[in-house]
Amino acid sequence: MLKSRNSYRFQKILGRISVWLGLLFFIVILLFPFYFMFISSFKPNDELYNLSKNPLMIESWTLDHYTYLLKQTRFIQWLKNSTLVAVVSTGISIVIGTIAAYSLARLRYRGVQALGMVIFISYLIPTTLLFIPLAYVVRNLGLFDKQVALMITYPTFLIPFCTWLLMGYFRGIPKELEESAMVDGATRLQALRMIILPIMIPGIVSAGLFAFTLSWNEFVYALTLAQTESIKTLPVGIVSQLVLADVYFWGELMGAALLGSVPIALLYSFFLEYYVKGMTAGAVKG
Amino acid sequence: MQITQSQGKRRPNPIRSFSKWFNQEKVLGPALVAPALLILIVLIAYPFSVGIWLSFTDKQIAVTDSGRFIGIQNFITLFKNSIFQRTTLNTFNYAVGSVFFKLVLGMLMALVLDKVRLFKNFFRGLLLLPWIVPTSLSALGWLWMFDSTFSVFNRLLLDAGLIQEKIIWLGRPAIAMFSLQVVNVWRGIPFFGISLLAGLQTIPEDLYEASEIDGAGAWRQFWNVTFPLLMPVTAVVTLYSIVQTFADFQIVYVLTRGGPINSTHLFATLTHQTAILAGKLGEGAAVSLFMFPVLVVSVIFLLRYLQREE
């Protein structure tokens, strides 16, 4: 009796240990690159390019790379560009996506299922399949090499995404709520605005958060559709202007890469709950 | 008084009757989807058909006399081109290899995270980082870690005595493909991990208790309970990842630009090189169309799966 209880406890401790070892394993492999980028961005050049120094430590910290980045490059400009493009395209997509999701999830009419399928399929289309003809179309519209080009093309992947995510949220709200408002004489749109949307705020926030991230991180359209240096988005600016043929400013580059990721990481730390919920909704419901 | 009232009945207020008409499901429904549909038609469906048309022409950037219909000439040129042949193999190799390891490691991550109770949300958020930050920027970090002279991996491996000489991570075709896959797997593990974790948590606890009473160990529990019940989520996540990995661009663009000597191109980067850098829009559009069949097959499987689940 005693022996079996001991072996049970032993197994339990072993299980605990293996869980924490597993966690440690994932922390190391998934976060090491960030640690190394961080270290590199604060390291003076004579340490950075000296093979006899420990690559994982810093002897004397420096802010030189960051000062150079903010003063000598267009970093701030690109940051503004990325923010503007992400805010506008997210705004457009949230509005259009919310009403589309309401319609697809709640209303009954002919073709509603087919429409839902169209949205789902366009959600899966990778941007790299379309960027060449899209550049051609955008040029014919006279929008080539303008920020507007990004603001109108990003919704092509943001709208399907927001719609799909928000359809799940709409389905979770009991129909009786709006029906009771409509019995009181409200139209559907009024019921949507006054009863449903306030409940939908968490869903809309998480869709907006996702959409902002997706447009902040977008690369292929930004690379092909906005080529003038002053209108580039942050990722494209850093990759195409700071990586100079043979001379790498590794300290500056690592600083730029980290700073460019900070807005996204901050958003997440504030809205993590919403994010995991949104991702879960997306994953479980497909 | 009575007359005006009856007149009012005969000629109803146009705004009110419009709002009543608009309030019908068969009117309001399509109207609310229309803006979304319009954008998708103008900026997805139309460009896609333009892409098909371009692939049958000799259209070139900044060449006014180009754009003639040349039939399947672009496709014949591609099939004969050894770079394109190499790219086709690369793309399949890259997608299959990366997705496999993302699935295995992501599953492991989900199983581990499922058991972590302390600072649960903190760890989940932390481990999501590779997935949420801009890929092009984290790929720059990897470019530095794979540097031919200063690679931190080489320095650590040499110090530990695990290798005798530096590994050229990005300068040799076979190793370069491997390095690219490492980065893709690194970025994708959290997506698999968190999505599968969400699936794991929908499995009722009593199923585990029942199988424990039957004397099943952890390994058998995984194969008899967890794996089959997780199958729907796994299938959806894997299919989605196949589509995205097959069409990947940023990691290759940042780390190798398809080099050395065009040996690490994927369809997407070869499209960019052919259409934008070399200016051959028609041929580039033809390359990009090769991403389409895998998309179609995955979509069919996904739709089937989702419908069966419903």
In a domain, B63, yes or no: no
Q: Does one domain contain both B237 and B278? A: yes
Q: What is the pLDDT of residue A247?
A: 65
Nearest CA-CA distance, residue A207 and chain B, Å: 14
Query: What confidence score (pLDDT) does residue A237 get?
Result: 94
Q: What is the mean pLDDT of residues B42-51?
A: 95
Taking CB atoms and an 8 Å cutoff, what residues of chain B touch A216? 134
Please indicate whether, in this complex, the C-beta atoms of A97 and B36 are within 8 angstroms of each other.
Answer: yes
pLDDT tens for A115-163 read 999 998 998 999 999 999 999 999 999 999 999 999 999 999 999 999 9
How confident is the model at residue A187, as a pLDDT? 86
pTM listed for this prediction = 0.91
The pLDDT confidence band at residue B23, using thresholds 50, 70 and 90, is confident
Residues 6+ apart with CB under 8 A from A239: A219, B136, B137, B140, B253, B254
Residue A6: the pLDDT is: 73
Tell me if residue B57 falls in helix, strand or coil: strand
By percentage, how much of chain B surpasses pLDDT 90? Answer: 67
Q: How do residues A216-265 score in pLDDT, each as one tens digit? A: 999 999 999 999 999 999 999 999 988 765 566 899 999 999 999 988 88
Mean pLDDT of A264-283: 68
To the nearest whole number, what is the mean pLDDT of chain B? Answer: 90
Do the domain assignments include residue B300?
Answer: yes
User: Which pLDDT does position B122 carry in this prediction?
Assistant: 85
What is the DSSP-derived secondary structure letter of residue A243? S
Residue B135: closest CA among chain A residues belongs to which residue?
Answer: A217
Q: Quick check: is B275 in a domain?
A: yes
Report, as an integer, the average pLDDT of B13-24.
84
B75 vs B19, more confident:
B75
Q: B180 with B88, same domain? A: yes
Same domain assignment for residues B227 and B275: yes
**CB distance A219–B250 less than 8 Å?**
yes
Q: How many domains does chain B have?
A: 2
CB–CB of A30 and B129 under 8 A? yes
Burial (CB count within 10 angstroms: exposed 0-12, middle 13-18, buried 19+), residue A188: buried
More confident residue, B63 or A282: B63
- B30 shares a domain with B175: no
Question: What is the pLDDT, as a whole number, of residue A265?
Answer: 87
Mean pLDDT in residue range A19-47: 95
Chain A neighbors of B32, CB-CB under 8 A = 99-100, 102-103, 107
Whole-number pLDDT of residue A151? 96
Size of interface A-B (CB pairs under 8 A): 292
Q: Quote the pLDDT of residue B156.
A: 93
Kindly state the average pLDDT of the residues B19-23: 85
CA distance A42 to A255: 8
In contact, A89 and A70? CB cutoff 8 Å: no
Which pair of tokens denotes residue B295?
């998309």
Residue B3 has pLDDT above 50, yes or no: no
CATH of the domain at B290: 1.10.3720.10
Could you tell me if B117 and B240 lie in one domain? Answer: yes
Which residues, in sequence order, are CB contacts of A140 under 8 Å at separation 6+? none
Mark yes or no for CB contact A286/B199 under 8 Å: no
| Domain extent at residue B263 | 75-309
Q: Which of B126, B195, B299 is opposite residue A121, by nearest beta carbon?
A: B299
The CATH superfamily assigned to A72-285 is MetI-like (1.10.3720.10)
Q: How far is CA B12 from CA A183, A189, B9, in A?
A: 22, 21, 6
Question: Of the ranges A86-90, A267-271, B259-263, which is most confident?
Answer: A86-90
CB contact under 8 A, A104 and B33: yes
Q: pLDDT grade, residue B242 (50/70/90)?
A: very high
Bridge partners of residue B57, in order along the sequence: B69
Report pLDDT digits (tens) over B101-119: 999 999 999 999 998 888 8
H or E, element range at A263: helix A250-285
Residue A3 has pLDDT above 70, yes or no: no
User: What CA–CA distance (Å, rounded) separates B10 from B252?
Assistant: 70
Q: Is there a single domain that holds both residue B283 and residue B245? A: yes
Q: A172-199 pLDDT, tens per residue?
A: 888 888 888 888 888 888 888 888 899 8
Closest CA to B39 of A122, A90, A221, A209: A122
Q: Where are the domains of chain A?
A: 2-48, 72-285
- Read out DSSP for B168-225? -TTTSHHHHHHHHHHHHHHHHHHHHHHHHHHHHTTS-HHHHHHHHHTT--HHHHIIII
Mutate to test the interface with A, among B23, B28, B256 (most CBs of A within 10 A): B28
Extract the tokens encoding A255. 């600083």
Query: Inter-chain contact B26–A19, Cβ cutoff 8 Å?
Result: no
How high is the pLDDT of residue A285?
A: 44
The model's pLDDT over B268-297, given as tens digits with 9 standing for 90+, comes to: 999 999 999 999 999 999 999 999 999 999
Task: For B118-144, write each residue's pLDDT tens digit.
Answer: 888 889 889 999 999 999 999 999 999
pLDDT category of residue B2 using cuts at 50, 70 and 90: very low
Taking CB atoms and an 8 Å limit, are B302 and A124 in contact across chains? Answer: yes
State the burial class of residue A265 (Cβ atoms within 10 Å of its Cβ: 0-12, 13-18, 19+).
middle
Domain membership flag for residue B145: yes
